[in-house]
Amino acid sequence: MVLSPRLEISQKQKLMMNPQMRQAIELLQLTNVQLADMLKREMEQNPFLAFDAAHFREAGNGEAPRAVTVDGKSGAGLNDKIEAVRVDFAAPNHSGDAGDVSAMLENRAADEGGLNSHILQQIAEEMSDRDVAALAIELTGWLDEDGYLRESDAEICQTIGVETGLLATTLAQLQSFHPAGIFARNLGDCLSLQLRAAGDWTPTHQALLDHLDILGRGDMAGLAAAMRVEAAELPPYLQAIRALDPRPAAAFDTPPTTLALPDVIVLQGDGGWQAYLNEDSLPSVLVLERDWEDMAQRKMTDDERNFMKTNVQSARWLKKATQQRAATLLRVSRAIVAHQQGFFARGMAALLPMGLRDIAEEIEMHESTVSRSVAGKLVQTPDGQFALRDLFSGAVGPKQSGALKSGDNIKTVSARAVKARLAELVAAEAATQVLSDDALVSLLEGEGIVLARRTVAKYRNALNIPSSAQRRRAAKIARMVGD
């Protein structure tokens, strides 16, 4: 067969997006806060674009920023975590006094917050050797969120370039710092440090810490044998371990406070729950038409006139696009809230199955438009704040789970509602009657929710709920400690 070139004519439809269409799509995906930031950047470049001053004053924002006076600088939130300080450990050894070390830290401890500041202050007060103090500062930046130093000695020495002797000396001092258990290498090490700091450590306690894996399995007989004590002697040791803090850094957790402004507010009225746009965070665009009229009367070159004309047209389009975005967001939000009236009245257990297509068909929009409208948007209700997308959930029922049962009481519910109900059932179970997955299946079936056992197990794992066997062991240990 011989192939030869030939011409063919074909016809197909293709959506061509101009820059304005792309920007309209981008606007739809932005939250109110992100939209305001974007408009500020546009105002810095467009002399005919400004915030609606009346709108901003009514919303409690004071004077509206103008295009040429917008402060685009964003404030950086405080962070109580410091980065590791690189120190030249090849430098000559200095046996400087405490004042030398304090001078090295004075610009750090005063500005840092939380755990790191607490440790830096102790380094300045307790460590007089400059090399030890320098390595201590470095290791402070290696701590994880629990206050542990997880890396091995070899990894630390190779990365920083220090001798094992200096590392051992530094760690010995750091592990004596407050809070007790800081700079531990693992859980057993952390609990052991706390016992030693309290003066309660004994070889028997250490034997328990060396066999935490047996404790985790709930094998009390095996644990007693490993500790070389009688089973009846275990409760005091278990109580001592239980009173310790496995996360010594948790008390110093001070995450940066961020103000999450909602895009939609849901309130209850006579006709049920209703969605409203948050006017306090929704920017309103103003086109400075009078400025354009005044400038159009002046003499200018063609390039200058084209520049001004392009900017005023861009400002007009941006105003229209932001208005369209607000109208679309309000329309989508109200359709979602109307569909989920039960959720707002009774909580997650009443959440109905709902997909993007359901809302798109109801308001006659494309699914992608609905998806972009809900992306990143926050909803404020009297009971709290959550993401608008959280109101969407797949359907779960006999057909979806693969179950073959049917009946008048069988109903289709949302996956999120099932998870919420599972969490409630497990939270309410008695310590002596832990519910198996089969028992959970039966209870849900009694409420008209028919699911396969594997589906219940999958949802339980997604909720980080241990298996029934693990919960029984935990209950057994809790009873022993309580006794």
Q: What is the pLDDT of residues 184-219, one digit of tens each?
A: 999 999 999 999 998 989 999 999 999 888 887 778
pLDDT at residue 192, as a whole number: 92
In a domain, 36, yes or no: no
Please identify, among 361, 391, 421, the residue that sits at the C-terminal boundary of a domain: 391
* Residue 448: closest CA among 412, 399, 403: 412
Q: What is the bridge-based pairing of β-strands 378-381 and 413-414?
A: unpaired
pLDDT at residue 361, as a whole number: 93
Q: What is the bridge-based pairing of β-strands 272-277 and 264-269?
A: antiparallel
pLDDT at residue 109, as a whole number: 45
Residues 222 and 234 in one domain: yes
For residue 325, what pLDDT band results from cuts at 50, 70 and 90?
very high
Residues 278 and 367 in one domain: yes
Can you tell me the distance from the alpha carbon of 83 to that of 421, in angstroms, rounded to the nearest whole number? 43
Residues 292 and 340 in one domain: yes
CA distances 307 to 38, 69, 300, 481, Å, are 21, 20, 11, 78
Would the pLDDT of 247 be above 80? yes
Residues 316 and 234 in one domain: no
pLDDT at residue 360, as a whole number: 92
Residues 276 and 385 in one domain: yes
Tally of structural domains, the chain: 4
For a pLDDT cut of 70, what percent of the chain falls above it?
77
Residues 317 and 372 in one domain: yes
In a domain, 103, yes or no: yes
pLDDT in tens, 135-153: 888 888 788 888 999 888 8
In a domain, 471, yes or no: yes
For residue 300, what pLDDT band results from cuts at 50, 70 and 90?
confident
Residues 243 and 301 in one domain: no
Would the pLDDT of 344 be above 50? yes
Q: At what angle do helices 367-374 and 356-363 cross, to 10 degrees?
A: 110
pLDDT in tens, 1-51: 566 666 767 666 554 545 666 777 788 888 888 888 888 888 888 888 887
For residue 200, the enclosing domain spans: 188-247
In a domain, 28, yes or no: no
Q: What is the CA radius of gyration of the chain?
A: 32
- Measured from the Cβ of residue 320, the count of other Cβ atoms closer than 10 Å reads 14
In a domain, 271, yes or no: yes
CA distances 135 to 163, 184, 389, Å, are 11, 16, 47
The lowest-confidence range among 92-96, 276-280, 418-422, 438-442 is 92-96
Residues 452 and 407 in one domain: yes
Sign of CA dihedral 459, 461, 463, 465: positive
Residues 228 and 325 in one domain: no
HSE, side-chain direction, 13 A CA sphere, residue 250: 5
pLDDT in tens, 231-244: 888 888 888 888 88
Would the pLDDT of 309 be above 50? yes
For residue 481, what pLDDT band results from cuts at 50, 70 and 90?
low
Provide mean pLDDT across the span 52-71. 41
Residues 204 and 114 in one domain: no
Provide mean pLDDT across the span 348-375. 89
For residue 97, what pLDDT band results from cuts at 50, 70 and 90?
very low
In a domain, 41, yes or no: no
Strand ranges in 96-247 using DSSP code E only, listed in sequence order: none
In a domain, 436, yes or no: yes
Q: Look up tokens 């029922």; give the residue.
A: 397
**Counting Cβ atoms within 10 Å, is residue 209 exposed (0-12), middle (13-18) or buried (19+)?**
buried
Provide mean pLDDT across the span 56-60. 42
In a domain, 18, yes or no: no
Helix or strand (DSSP H, E) at 302 = helix 302-339
Note if the bond before 179 is cis, omega within 30 degrees.
yes
